[in-house]
Homo-oligomer: A and B are copies of this chain.
């Protein structure tokens, strides 16, 4: 195989209670990439549509992740990468993770899968380091593994795939304002109270239990963030109202997607997820902020080959 065309899913990181450790992949929101082998060494970004992002290899997350893979392998040639971005940079649904994971996943396919999924996570994290200054894994892990993933530990890196209930749908609304991941990390406090920590790990435990037992009510009760949401939500106009309207409409839970400004809600079933989308939209219509809305089943397989 000399060329591959793939779908790279958008992802929701943190998932309310799981700051820096939890993430989940979406099914019909994502980028398309074409990656092909070249005899020339190195990585070249030959096309980048849909977003105004750097095309130089060392300044592009897909380029940097790809170089990390090339360094570890014994492949003598190189790759060309075309990126057709549908996920907006800075939207909070893993735009950089889609590109970095897509690059290394595709390269691994073209090379006959010499690397494990965990190694692909590590290569992709170099893209995240370029994008945000921190090599986090909470977006790249679900993009590569599919479904929900837990980053149990960073040193050593330990990624745990979590069972994904079949009727779980996500609604994501992206208000058209920009919040940089690096800025939204700066406003976080470096200390938290032990009391808030206890609440947070209680909810992480509840969410994981709810996912394994497909207990949608427990999933909803556990989607509470005592640490990050109270601080970051200040950067997102209308957040409290969007959240309360989503919950009123029947969402299981609602929170900030990644570092924002996108807001996600989970629902049981597609019909409810659409109702929640309508309720969330109304808030931004009334405030007068433009938005994109996505309704998606949870993606269980991660990056997919397209014909």
Contacts and interface: CB of A to CB of B under 8 A. Distances in A.
B206 A160 contact: yes
A17 interface: yes
Contacts of A150: 202, 205-206, 209
A16 to B, nearest CB: 12
Contacts of A21: 198, 201-202, 205
Interface in A1-38: 17-22
Interface string A192-209: 111101111111111111
Contacts of A158: 206, 221
Interface stretch (A92-100, A183-191, A268-276): A183-191
B152 A198 contact: no
Given A158-B221, A191-B192, A153 B227 contact: no
A144 to B, nearest CB: 18
A212 to B, nearest CB: 4
Contacts of A197: 192, 197, 200-201, 227
Interface in A137-196: 150-153, 158, 160, 162-163, 188-195
Contacts of A20: 198, 202
Contacts of A207: 205
A205 B18 contact: yes
Contacts of A208: 204-205, 208-209, 212
A222 interface: yes
A89 interface: no
Most buried by B among A22, A153, A201: A201
A18 B209 CA distance: 14
Contacts of A189: 194
A176 B80 CA distance: 68
Contacts of A212: 163, 208-209, 212-213
A198 B18 CA distance: 8
Most buried by B among A17, A22, A203: A203
Contact of A153 (B152, B213, B221): B221
Interface of A: 17-22, 150-153, 158, 160, 162-163, 188-195, 197-209, 212-213, 218, 221-222, 227
24 contacts: A17-B201, A18-B201, A20-B198, A20-B202, A21-B201, A21-B202, A150-B205, A150-B206, A152-B205, A152-B206, A153-B202, A153-B203, A153-B221, A158-B206, A160-B205, A160-B206, A160-B209, A190-B193, A191-B191, A197-B200, A200-B201, A201-B204, A205-B205, A208-B209
